[in-house]
Structure 1
């Protein structure tokens, strides 16, 4: 994509990209998702872990934007710079695939929302629902091909429009909040109405991939760093966007515990924010939130589609995937990258017809895929601090960044563990065979396929894991 002065993005546009990417489907599903998993105490612990972990990651992004201003290709470039070409490719592939599947989750939630009013949409995985989603997909495809500046401007408008109903939801819940209901929900250990009794650790663990999902998009400003009118705005936009969204996430979760009992929250269909508001103000509340969700999700879809295309373009520019994906149209848009992204989303949309819990699967698989690039960002920040690279005369800053990058890396590892083996294996189905793009790019360059034995071993492990995952799905050991 061209990065001329006419296409530069201000601090607020970059912040809107971060907020627009983070506020999508996940925030509207929080009341029921947390209601099924845990009570108020577990939610507080979960948000402390998630908020603290993601804050350290945001600070690592901010540090890298300042200390490595020449690395302006987003998330994967840090993995490439720190750990080699194949690791950089894997980071780019995982992030791109995560955005594609994340967009599928948006479509599923749109269709599920409409299903509350028009039964033909069902829970978002009917044939009619997939057909409508496909029509929306290719309409946005045309819009994306018109250019990043047009799409970013629309995203800023959509970000403002979708925050309004969320603010109103929070205000209504503040006035409807009942301390006695919140107290009953706080512990979350007892099973009074069909909710499984679990330890506090188990309750918190079951929320982890959800908390990761609602923070996805935190890297939005970093991915678009080369469009920033001022490089310093990248880190500022990341931190501002993160803090604002975190406040909304915590308020929505905790206030919901003071309105409905956990069994009632757990029984709500998605988007559960609509059900909570309906319980307070009546049917119009569900309609109001549903409209807000549609605006929110379509805006987030636009943001994530931009991110996905930009990652493919940048990976091609860095010679990690075939050079055709750096091909731009007359509007400066990497058209081949947009086509591959939307064709992939279309395939996953069709696959939702065969998944009983399409939204939950898409949500958790997206989180699992994106955690690998996040882990590598934290690890690269840690590597810089340990090796004192760019810290020759700034020992105090090095110690601070060492702590933050260590915490960010540990958080990513903890989230991968919390997600479980199932999603790691499903991720391998994408990482392993997806390496064909990397191998084709290496052939284009007439270079050896892998630079060293470590890369060869990593590829072998991914292919074995992918084969095992496919066999497990075929035999029913893994269900989707």
Structure 2
């Protein structure tokens, strides 16, 4: 589908040319590029709304250990099951059957589409600081302009990967610079007395457990992309590089994200950080060095977000494309153009992003709604991948596996499973219900794929899972209609 610079390469290039295989450096850069997007620029406010320094340190410790366990899981699975491609989706299918594999593919794809909406909301909110008509990125004008950008990128990628690559080469490097500059300047302007006052949290923060729980979805969002190398594992020059790139990319980004959060507490009282407009990183730097700092971060954000949007659009379309090739999605999604672009998958990706973009106008907080929903949608695919690692560790001789498991692999897989299960709890019932409102109707695609293959629609267990998902979705619709939950 894509190329080395965005993390993917076609297995067979157009006109019979051999496909480009991805090196460790390229895979690592793709992981970093996928994770560094809109989320990091929103971290100061997201954390200050929930917790002080102590809670933030605990949150990052939990997120760091949990996500590192997930990174190790993807590393192990890449080596133990080299026959599985497309990462998260393939692992769920191999471990728990085609229907849950389909759910994983759809959930991962949908999370990428919803995540792309956060990018446009944040861009419009950034420009809204000087153009009030754009508000916080959720006004009619903001949605219209975002829609124009959404479809402009569709046309760009639709033309072929060469043009998309030229842009991505620039933004992959440029996006990291303002973040590192922010950390350095914040350290220079660091006020120990302000930091100390923020240590225990504000009166509105609640208990320490409540504070930590409130930050969990934000940490999931910023780490989305840690699995990026495994999504494109079929393109790696060496299979073991997939796991190495995952861990190297994660550790690099973790250090940056935690630093951005913690140093912000040394610039402003957390109650003031919590009131900043997004991107809050710009407001923190403005308080530290003046207006030029806000402008600098805002420009860096736009570059970063557009790069992340490009990478995630390509990644989302790749998931649909590969799933269709494996007969787990309808055949029309397996079509590609002469330029090796999966046009139907790309169109469907852009269309869902457009729908969610319109929905944000009816949300109380468009950015946080899209961010939290993105995280919640990703948790089920992550949970299934971690659970598959547990299953593989308990049955090391399973067909297709390479090598044997050990106690370390089992411990890592169990920790990763417990972590993702805790994240589902932290997400709360609201986002679980909204997630299933998206999941349940998607079964239509599964049914269509089965009919194309003249196969039985559901096994007995699949029928039970389908019934439960529809029931949960109906509860979600009822909850929204009665005002029990709100967007």
TM-score w.r.t. structure 2 length? Answer: 0.94
CA offset at residue 454 of structure 1?
A: 1.7
Could you give the per-residue CA deviations for residues 283-331 of structure 1, whole angstroms, max 9, x where no partner exists?
1111100000001111110111011100000110111110110001001
One of 125, 128, 138 as aligned partner of 1:115 = 128
Q: Given that residues 76 and 91 in structure 1 are in contact (C-alpha distance below 8 angstroms), is that contact kept between their aligned partners in structure 2?
A: yes
User: Are the aligned partners of 2:29 and 2:249 in contact in 1 as well (CA < 8 Å)?
Assistant: yes
Which stretch shows the higher mean deviation, 132-141 or 270-279? 132-141
| Equivalent in the alignment of 1:316 | 324
Residue of structure 2 in register with 1:155 after alignment = 168
Helix, strand or coil: the match of 2:304?
Answer: helix
1:183 aligns with 2:183: no
1:351 CA displacement = 1.5
SS at match of 2:237: coil
Cα offset for 1:154? 3.4
Partner of 1:406: 414
Residue-by-residue CA offset, 1:96-146 (whole Å, 9 max, x unaligned)? 110000001111111101100111211101111111111111111122223
> How is 1:132-281 mapped onto 2 (pairs within 5 angstroms)?
132-148=145-161, 151-152=164-165, 154-188=167-201, 190-191=202-203, 196-281=204-289
Cα offset for 1:165?
0.5
Structure 1: give runs of 5+ residues left out of the alignment. none
TM-score in terms of structure 1 length: 0.96
| Residues 152, 303 of structure 1: 8 Å contact kept | no
**Mapping for residues 454-473 of structure 1, pairs under 5 Å:** 454-473=461-480
Aligned alpha-carbon RMSD (Å): 1.5
The question of whether the paired residues in 2 share the 8 Å contact of 1:16 and 1:156 is answered with no
> For residues 67 and 153 of structure 1, do their structure 2 counterparts lie closer, same or farther at Cα, with a shift above 3 Å needed?
farther
Q: CA deviation at 1:197?
A: 4.3
Contact 1:374-1:412 within 8 A present in 2 as well? yes
Taking the aligned partners of 1:154 and 1:236, their CA distance within structure 2 comes to 26
- 8 A contact 1:67–1:390 mirrored in 2: no
Counterpart-to-counterpart distance in 2, 1:131 and 1:14: 35
Mapped to 1, the partners of 2:77 and 2:216 lie a distance apart of 26
What is the rounded CA distance, in whole Å, between the counterparts of 2:159 and 2:389 in structure 1?
A: 36
Task: Identify which of 342, 345, 348 aligns with 2:350.
Answer: 342
CA pair 410-295 structure 1, distance change in 2 beyond 3 A: same
Name the SS of the counterpart of 2:278 in structure 1.
coil
Q: Aligned partners of 1:393, 1:276: CA distance in 2, in Å?
A: 49
Instruction: Report if the CA contact (8 A) 1:13-1:152 is conserved.
Output: no
Identify the match of residue 106 of structure 1 among 119, 140, 145. Answer: 119
Structure 2 unaligned spans of 5+: 2-9, 13-17
- Secondary structure at the aligned position of 2:49 is classed as helix
1:388 positional shift:
1.8
Matches within 5 A, 1:406-425: 406-425=414-433
Which residue of structure 1 aligns with residue 78 of structure 2? 65
SS at match of 2:206: coil
Equivalent residue, structure 2, for 1:54: 67
